[in-house]
Amino acid sequence: MAPVELTHPSLYINRELSQLEFNRRVLEQAMDPRVPLLERLRFTTIVSTNLDEFFEIRVASIKEQVGFGLPQVGPDGRTPQDALRALKEAAQKLVREQYLFLQQQLLPALAAEGIRLLKLYTWTPEQSAWLEDYFDREVLPVLTPIGLDPSHPFPNIQNKNLNLIVALAGSDAFGRDSGTAVVQIPRSLPRLVFLPPNVADCPHGYALLGSIVTTFVHKLFPGMQVRGCYQFRVTRDSELWVQEEDVEDLLNALKGELRTRNFGDAVRLEVSDTCPPEMAEFLLSKFDLQPDDLYRVDGPVNLHRLAAIYDVIKRPELKYPPFIPGPRRTPGAEIDLFAELRRGNILLHHPYESFSLVLELVRQAARDPKVLAIKQTLYRTGADSPMAEALLEAARAGKEVTAVVELRARFDEAANIDLATRLQQAGVTVVYGIVGYKTHAKALFIVRREDGRYRRYVHLGTGNYHSVTAQFYTDFSFLTCDDAIGEDVHNVFMQLTGLGTVPRMNKLLVSPFTLMDRLIALIDREAEHARQGKPARIVAKLNALTEVKVIEALYRASQAGVSIDLIVRGVCCLRPGVQGVSDNIRVRSIVGRFLEHHRIYHFHNAGEEVTYGASADWMSRNLLRRVETAFPIEEPALRARVVTEGLTTYLADNTQAWELQTDGSYVRCAPTPPDEPRPAQETLLRLLSANQGAAQTQRQILEDLLVRQDMLE
């Protein structure tokens, strides 16, 4: 057989199509009758939210390439034009399946549980009277209809806002008869309106705001005849562009860009399926879109708004059962975390184990008179962040506090600008990282004076310092006072805040300097071990795999005989199972209750195992255009936990796992009798949470995990 060129397009899956495949897996989770009903609704709305971002960023980028006539060809050999056609076709199919499921399965199942959507034209007289009163009182006063004529041009429609286009007949008081008007629904109005049970004829009856305004829209046009009223929604390019090298103040530059985000170039138009062709064509022309940019939907165009039902309806039997994050602690007992870290490193597995311990470390540092300085990277923290409050407390207590705030964290820019401003006002030294490189590393650094010397305490993580997402993102936290790692993290912060050459690191791998080269060297070393007849194994868990050089290295390792398992939640451009190239590579994705988020790199290394936790996926942006860290887990007991909890448990999953096929599709795993179901997330909940009846001692957990570690051998 002739040697295969490892850059051949046939060996690569299109990035955008792979991303749509991930959303298909999320939709399949919604369709799974084993999932609690309100969780199925939540997964359905997550698909819509994901698709919004997909169009705002990925589709917008490809459209821009097409518009500029760029001849750029992706690793899969597709031109931007080819990629755009393929992804639009796949997206249209996915949206049709989503709304078909909504109408035929999800809404009827919700209605059977007393959660009813009161659809347009099905209201009883009592319901109609109640909703009309609501419209007159709460909605009508804030609506501003725009009749289209030469003095009222087509309005500038905001990104993802709900709108109505209205067909009218007759003339108004000024003799105008343009026949068309637009009604923009203010975002200040709730999109779901819940009726009293006695009016709704069910425990939880609700109507969509779009349906309410459609029904009573004639009140906005007195004396005229409404011939039709149709929902529409436009998605716009939402990427922010700031020439960082040319601005003196990145914060103020981003503030200016945020004002224009809602009015970027249109990339998608959604309309209700009842919208006449001529009206849809009119809207397409106004947004400079093509027919294949039109998405007709049988239901609300702002489907993601149904997510509010999950929070409003208190029906625990229709949701995942609650759990108490471990480790189990005595109520009211406070642990001296500095003393604990001097006794040994700490590993936490979120959300099964509480993120509050990390937060408590910062709070203790803020109150401790021996602590002199705290430094932290902040990528996403959320509104009203407890972590930010802890940093503010430290600054007010006179500590030297430094925060590296990444202003360009996509869709969190406004929150991070607000956070940076609050921190600065409290005396925190705030910097925004490196021009041209996002700071995505997750690092906390505390300097404490002990016995006449300085000791460094460090937290490194695979996730963000975000107390909310820590409750449903799977991540590892590593806390240590190891001198070598402390020196490395100190040097990372020196790079982020100051100037200087690349320092020599003791243990950390840092992008954009050492991480990429070292990663490929580790993969190549496994290949060399395989060629020498030694055991060779690579297992990695990632959110995405797109970097061509890394994929080439994995192909070379597979050809050499290395056994490779990749657990990739979302986008994966590597094509497994290609004869002579990737026969030894298997790829799976886990979709479940929690969002799989941790990054773990594990290499057998002829028995001298090497395991890293990391903030970086194997993507070009993470390895070449961001500041990222990968940290070694060297202590045998902690490495055993990372390997078994983060890798082998997921490789054993035969319930929530999807296996990537050579053609780019995914097949869901299912237990084969007599095998029992082994859902990874449920297994970890039983092992690590502090729920009564499920709690185990750390010794019991470790013994169980060490037995299962044999799967990696």
Whether the link from the prior residue into 300 is cis, omega within 30° of 0, is no
The rounded distance, in Å, linking the Cα atoms of 429 and 438 is 18
The rounded distance, in Å, linking the Cα atoms of 544 and 597 is 10
349 counts as catalytic? no
Query: Annotated binding site, which residues?
Result: 50, 380, 410, 473, 569, 597
For residue 648 the two structure tokens come to 């082998």
Whether the link from the prior residue into 327 is cis, omega within 30° of 0, is yes
Query: Annotated binding site for Mg(2+), which residues?
Result: 380, 410
Q: What are phi and psi of 375, to 5 degrees?
A: -130, 140
- Torsion over CA of 130, 135, 136 and 141, rounded to 10 degrees? 160
**Helices of type H across 72-185:** 80-101, 107-112, 125-134
For residue 47 the two structure tokens come to 């698909």
Sequence-distant (≥ 6) Cβ neighbours of residue 89 within 8 angstroms: none
Instruction: State the catalytic residue, choosing from 350, 440, 529, 602.
Output: 440
Coil vs helix vs strand at 588: strand
Burial call 601-611: b when 16+ CB within 10 Å, e when fewer = bbbbbbeebbb
Cα-based distances in Å from 270 to 67, 275, 288, 484, 504: 22, 10, 14, 55, 53
- Nearest CA to 306 among 233, 232, 208? 208
The rounded distance, in Å, linking the Cα atoms of 465 and 409 is 13
Element (H, E) at 521: helix 515-531
Contact 709, 636 (CB under 8 A): no
DSSP 400-467: EEEEEE-TTSTT-HHHHHHHHHHHHHTT-EEE--BTTBEE---EEEEEEEETTEEEEEEEEESS-S-T
The rounded distance, in Å, linking the Cα atoms of 521 and 54 is 33
The rounded distance, in Å, linking the Cα atoms of 661 and 296 is 31
Contact 328, 354 (CB under 8 A): no
Amino acid letter, residue 508: L
Query: Annotated binding site for ATP, which residues?
Result: 50, 473, 569, 597
Coil vs helix vs strand at 522: helix
- Torsion over CA of 55, 60, 65 and 68, rounded to 10 degrees? 150
Q: List, in sequence order, every residue forming a beta bridge with 232; answer none if it has no partner.
A: 163, 271
Whether the link from the prior residue into 512 is cis, omega within 30° of 0, is yes
The residues annotated as belonging to the active site are: 440
